[in-house]
Amino acid sequence: MSLMKSPDRPDAAAEASERDHAVLTVGDVHKHFRRANGQDVPAVDGVSLEVRAGECLVLLGPSGCGKTTLLRSIAGLEHPDSGRIEVEGRPVFCSRDRINRSPQQRRLSMVFQSYALWPNMSVFDNIAYPLRQRGFKRAQLKAEVRRAGELVGLDEILRSYPNHISGGQQQRVALARALVSGDSLVLFDEPLSNVDAKVRQELRIELKGLQHKLGFGAVYVTHDQEEAMELGHRIAVLEHGKIAQMAGPEELYSRPVSRYVATFVGSTNEIEGTVESVDADGAVLSTALGKVVGARVGPDVTAGGKAVAIFRPEAGRVRAERPDGPNAWEARRRDRLFSGTHSEYVVTHERVAYRVWSDGAPVPAEGEMGWLTVPPSDVHIFRP
Amino acid sequence: MTSLPMGGGRVRRTLRDAPRGMSPFSAFSLLLAAAVILLTLVSLGMVVLKLFIVDGAFTIEPIRHTLTRPDLVSTIGSTLSIVIASTVIAVAIGGGLAWLNERTDARMGLLSDLLPMIPFLVPPVAGSMGWMMLLAPKAGYLNNAWWWLLERFGVHTRAPLMDIYTWHGMVFVFSIYGVAFTYMMIAPALRTLDSSLEEQSRVSGAGGLKTMVRVTLPAVMPAVVAGALLWIWIALVTVDIPMVIGTPADIPMLSTELVSALRQTFPVDRALAVGLSSIIAVIVMAVWLVHHRVMHNQRNSTVGSKGSRTVPVKLGRWRGPVRIAMLGYMGLTTVLPFGALIVVAVTGSWRPTIHWSNASLDRFKELLSNPATAAGLRNSLVLALVAATLVVLVTCVLSLYVHRAGRVTGGVIDAGLKLPGALGAPVLVVGILLTFSGAPFWYAGTLTILFLGYVLLCVPNASIASDAAVAGVGDELMEASSIAGAGELRTFRRVVLPLLVPGMVGAWAIVFVRVMADVTVSSLLAGVGNPVIGFQLVDAQQSGTPADVAALAAVLTLISAGTLFLAVLYGRRKSRWTAGATRG
Contact B1 A10 (CB under 8 A): no
pLDDT exceeds 70 at position B4 = no
Contacts of B485 in chain A (CB under 8 A): 104, 107, 130, 133-134, 181
Contact, B518 vs B426, CB < 8 A?
no
Instruction: Say how far apart CA A180 and CA A141 lie, in whole Å.
Output: 10
Contact A120 B477 (CB under 8 A): no
Amino acid residing at A8: D
Instruction: Say how far apart CA B43 and CA A65 lie, in whole Å.
Output: 50
Amino acid residing at B318: W
Closest CA to B143 of B154, B129, B157: B157
Contacts of A76 in chain B (CB under 8 A): 482-483
Kindly report, residue by residue over B320-347, the tens digit of the pLDDT.
899 998 888 888 888 999 999 999 999 9
The percent of residues above 90 in pLDDT, for chain B, comes to 38
Q: CB-based contacts of B108: which residues, under 8 Å, 6+ apart?
A: B323, B326
Contacts of A121 in chain B (CB under 8 A): 494
Instruction: Say how far apart CA B407 and CA A186 lie, in whole Å.
Output: 31
Residue of A nearest to B16 (CA): A105
Burial class (CB in 10 A: 0-12, 13-18, 19+), B440: exposed
The pLDDT value given to residue A14: 52
Please report, for residues A363, B534, B535, the alpha-carbon distance to residue B246 in angstroms, rounded to integers and kept in the order given. Answer: 95, 16, 16
Kindly report, residue by residue over A1-56, the tens digit of the pLDDT.
455 444 444 455 555 555 678 999 999 999 998 877 778 889 999 999 999 999 99
Contact B20 A19 (CB under 8 A): no
Instruction: Say how far apart CA B542 and CA B248 lie, in whole Å.
Output: 9
Q: What's the average model confidence in pLDDT over B401-423?
A: 88
B353 HSE (CA, 13 A, CB side)? 3
Residue of B nearest to A187 (CA): B483
Residue A239's pLDDT band, with cuts at 50, 70 and 90, is: very high
The pLDDT value given to residue B116: 61
- CB nearest to B499's CB, from A10, A119, A129: A119
Residue of A nearest to B502 (CA): A120
Contact B2 A4 (CB under 8 A): no
Q: How far is B393 from chain A (nearest CA, A)?
A: 19
Q: What's the average model confidence in pLDDT over A102-123?
A: 90
Instruction: Say how far apart CA B491 and CA B485 lie, in whole Å.
Output: 9
The pLDDT value given to residue A227: 92
Predicted ipTM beyond 0.85:
no
Kindly report, residue by residue over A49-98, the tens digit of the pLDDT.
999 999 999 999 998 899 999 999 999 999 999 999 999 999 999 999 99
Contact of B128 with chain A, judged by CB distance below 8 Å, is answered with: no
pLDDT exceeds 60 at position B467 = yes
Contact of B408 with chain A, judged by CB distance below 8 Å, is answered with: no
Closest CA to A271 of A254, A257, A255, A259: A259
Burial class (CB in 10 A: 0-12, 13-18, 19+), A188: buried
The percent of residues above 70 in pLDDT, for chain A, comes to 95
Interface residue of A118, A175, A185 to substitute, partner B, most B CBs within 10 Å: A118
The pLDDT value given to residue B126: 94
The pLDDT value given to residue A123: 94
Contact, A185 vs A219, CB < 8 A?
yes
pLDDT exceeds 50 at position B492 = yes
Contact A112 B584 (CB under 8 A): yes
Amino acid residing at B243: M
Q: How far is A203 from chain B (nearest CA, A)?
A: 19
Contact B578 A6 (CB under 8 A): no
Contact A114 B18 (CB under 8 A): no
Mean pLDDT for chain A overall: 90
Output DSSP code: residue B314. Answer: P
Contacts of A163 in chain B (CB under 8 A): 577-581
Contact A19 B3 (CB under 8 A): no
Angle, helices B336-347/B124-135, rounded to nearest 10 degrees: 80
pLDDT exceeds 90 at position B102 = no
- CB nearest to B8's CB, from A3, A90, A161: A90
Output DSSP code: residue A108. Answer: -
- Collapse the DSSP code of A51 into the 3-class scheme (helix H, G, I; strand E, B; otherwise coil) and give the result: strand
Contact A116 B479 (CB under 8 A): yes
Closest CA to A365 of A328, A325, A332: A332
Contact of B479 with chain A, judged by CB distance below 8 Å, is answered with: yes
The pLDDT value given to residue B299: 55
Contact, A270 vs A260, CB < 8 A?
no
Instruction: Say how far apart CA A285 and CA A289 lie, in whole Å.
Output: 10
Contact of B582 with chain A, judged by CB distance below 8 Å, is answered with: yes
Instruction: Say how far apart CA B31 and CA A123 lie, in whole Å.
Output: 36
Q: What's the average model confidence in pLDDT over A239-251?
A: 95
Output DSSP code: residue B495. Answer: I
- CB nearest to B17's CB, from A99, A113, A129: A99
Residue of A nearest to B499 (CA): A120
Range of B133-147, B199-213, B502-516 with top mean pLDDT: B133-147
Q: What's the average model confidence in pLDDT over A110-139?
A: 91
Contacts of A6 in chain B (CB under 8 A): 2-3, 5
Angle at B407 between CA B457 and CA B469, to 5 degrees: 50
Contact, B279 vs B66, CB < 8 A?
yes
The pLDDT value given to residue B580: 42
Kindly report, residue by residue over B10-25, the tens digit of the pLDDT.
333 233 333 445 788 8
Helix or strand (DSSP H, E) at A347: strand A343-349
Contact A118 B480 (CB under 8 A): yes
Please report, for residues B210, B212, B225, B471, the alpha-carbon distance to residue B303 in angstroms, rounded to integers and kept in the order given. Answer: 19, 15, 15, 21
Residue with more model confidence, B301 or B356: B356
Contact of B573 with chain A, judged by CB distance below 8 Å, is answered with: no
pLDDT exceeds 50 at position B202 = yes
Instruction: Say how far apart CA B64 and CA B48 lie, in whole Å.
Output: 14
Instruction: Say how far apart CA B442 and CA B447 lie, in whole Å.
Output: 12
Contact B582 A161 (CB under 8 A): no
pLDDT exceeds 90 at position B572 = no
Contact B3 A104 (CB under 8 A): no
Residue B187's pLDDT band, with cuts at 50, 70 and 90, is: confident
- CB nearest to B4's CB, from A116, A129, A216: A216
Contact of B310 with chain A, judged by CB distance below 8 Å, is answered with: no
Residue of A nearest to B498 (CA): A120
Contact of B404 with chain A, judged by CB distance below 8 Å, is answered with: no
Instruction: Say how far apart CA B524 and CA B383 lie, in whole Å.
Output: 16
Contact, A347 vs A332, CB < 8 A?
yes
Contact, A180 vs A200, CB < 8 A?
no
Q: What's the average model confidence in pLDDT over B236-255?
A: 90
Instruction: Say how far apart CA A146 and CA A150 lie, in whole Å.
Output: 6
Instruction: Say how far apart CA A183 and CA A2 lie, in whole Å.
Output: 8
Q: How far is A23 from chain B (nearest CA, A)?
A: 9
pLDDT exceeds 70 at position B128 = yes
Instruction: Say how far apart CA A94 and CA A30 lie, in whole Å.
Output: 11
Residue of B nearest to A34 (CA): B407
Contact, B503 vs B465, CB < 8 A?
yes
Mean pLDDT for chain B overall: 85
- CB nearest to B476's CB, from A7, A87, A116: A116
A146-150, A216-220, B571-575: least confident range: B571-575
Kindly report, residue by residue over B525-538, the tens digit of the pLDDT.
887 788 899 888 88
- CB nearest to B11's CB, from A88, A100, A120: A88
